[in-house]
A and B are shown apart, each in its own frame.
Chain A
Amino acid sequence: DSGVTQTPKHLITATGQRVTLRCSPRSGDLSVYWYQQSLDQGLQFLIHYYNGEERAKGNILERFSAQQFPDLHSELNLSSLELGDSALYFCASSVGTSNEQFFGPGTRLTVL
């Protein structure tokens, strides 16, 4: 158990819908990262927040957005969902900005 929690574990929805994935970092960690893992793209970095502020963006689509709240939990919002958005979405956290990150169990999103 990494100490990072993600909800929900599974999410099934239809194309065009909007969903919110939630992440709670390890106690004391200020950084939250989001990653997407699909069969054809592998593990892709999406976005990084540090203490409430966006620090880095990766291959995140404009239909996707994220935020980190004052209590340091983070949400990833995915809208206008497409079949290709079906993937595992991982959240990770670290104390500062580090290559040593602790990953959560992931949310498996299925878009039908």
Chain B
Amino acid sequence: LAKTTQPISMDSYEGQEVNITCSHNNIATNDYITWYQQFPSQGPRFIIQGYKTKVTNEVASLFIPADRKSSTLSLPRVSLSDTAVYYCLVGDNNQGGKLIFGQGTELSVKP
């Protein structure tokens, strides 16, 4: 599984767009990039997954450059309720499903 590196923490204010970048230099051809959100004492929640270029859903966008060695999770107009830990994971979707979580990025949204 490719190792990921992301900032330990980030601060933002309500209404701003937040971009969290994840580095995964050793990503393999079959690997997908998946992001999870976790609130304290709750289970992680799937946010978005992509393979290349751009993926958008109702809560976030995921930007993946052509070399796929990094990815950026974009959260538009964050609110206080977006304060959470965000995990970037990289792996083959059919490798056994074991998710390897790093330390994640602790996002703090202030009023």
Q: Which residues of A contact B (CB under 8 A)?
A: 2, 4, 31, 33, 35, 42-45, 48, 55-56, 58, 88, 90, 92, 94, 97-106, 108
Contacts and interface: CB of A to CB of B under 8 A. Distances in A.
Contacts, number: 68
A43 B34 contact: no
Query: SS class of chain A's interface: helix, strand, loop or mixed?
Result: strand
Nearest to A94: B97
- Interface size grouping (class) on chain B: 20 to 34
Nearest to B98: A45
Contacts of A103: 43-45
B74 to A, nearest CB: 19
B81 interface: no
Contacts of B29: none
A48 B97 contact: yes
